[in-house]
Amino acid sequence: MTFTDIGAVPAAWRPGAVRPRGGIVLRPAQLADRPALATIAAAAFAQGVAVLLPPELRARADAARFTCFLAATPGVLLLAEVDGVPVGCALATLPAANDPPARLQGLWVAPGRTGQGIGSALLAAMEETLGRQGVASLRVRVPSGQLRALGLFRRRGYALRTAGLRPEPVLEAMLRHSVLAKPLLAAAVAA
């Protein structure tokens, strides 16, 4: 996994410095966390997006594929824990010089842990982390039919930018997505 310069990460998100929110502890993920996070991501994907996919694509959404995806995608990977047990994660790539928005590549919450504020806490932490690094905006693709995810992003101030077929990075297939975005710098300056 590739992380940004640790000096650029706010002190509250550096390894060993955790910030509890309602019993949820958020921190940057470490290399040793990757297997647990891949399992969570695959289980969340199977419960959410995969049920909308044809069987041949559903079979591809396994922990091994998520392990490769997490290892190959440089950026900021945050972990949520409850009582020391990983319950979710969020992965964002930093903006490229020729393509300014940062992209939320995934936000996954363990099945059985949804509806407890974990996704909201991860998203807020990612926005704060990226905003403090000077990232102007965050963009996310939400697979069509994921009304709960769309609701989360809309409640957090994301606006619809476009919709249509987009490459799904884990399955490496074209799927219908809604693309939403939110400015981050104004929130970081106000904080």
In CATH, what is the architecture of 6-190? 3-Layer(aba) Sandwich (3.40)
Full DSSP string of 22-61:
TTEEEEE--GGGHHHHHHHHHHHHHHTGGGGS-HHHHTT-
Q: In Å, how far are 5, 152, 184 from 133, measured between CA atoms? A: 10, 23, 10
Confidence at residue 25, expressed as pLDDT on a 0 to 100 scale: 95
This prediction has a pTM of 0.82
Would you list the domain boundaries of the chain? 6-190
Confidence at residue 169, expressed as pLDDT on a 0 to 100 scale: 73
Q: In the chain, which stretches have pLDDT less than 50?
A: 1-20, 187-190
Confidence at residue 139, expressed as pLDDT on a 0 to 100 scale: 95
pLDDT digits (tens, 9 = 90+) for 80-123: 999 999 999 999 999 887 777 899 999 999 999 988 999 999 99
